[in-house]
Amino acid sequence: MDFWARHPQAQQPLVAWYQIVRHAAWESWSELRTTFPSADRVGRLTVFNIGGNKYRLIARVEYRLQRLYVRQVLTHDEYNKNEWKEDPWY
């Protein structure tokens, strides 16, 4: 919600992503990719393309626990700066 307060056009695609994720029960990376074929793994994190690739949502997916932890939501330009990779979560 903080992100779409700064980027109002991101609200609808983020809400749509959330509606899918909250009902998901992925047990593996391959199952996640059936839902989100454009998702990428970067280290221990999963990067989702949001809003036609205008935004990137970076999350940690714990399949065994059935949990997804959103680390950050960025514009495509912010993501490309790679500053998010400097965090120990990466």
Each domain of the chain, given as residue ranges in start order, spans 2-83
Asked if residue 41 has pLDDT above 80, the reply is: yes
Which residue blocks in 1-90 are alpha helix, DSSP H? 2-6, 11-22, 29-35, 76-80
pLDDT > 90: percent of the chain: 70
Mean pLDDT of the chain: 90
Asked if residue 48 has pLDDT above 80, the reply is: yes
The tokens of 63 are what? 């399949």
pTM of the model: 0.87
For 49-69, what is each residue's pLDDT tens digit? 999 889 999 999 999 999 999
Domain covering 2-83 in this structure, CATH number: 3.30.2310
Across 3-22, average pLDDT: 93
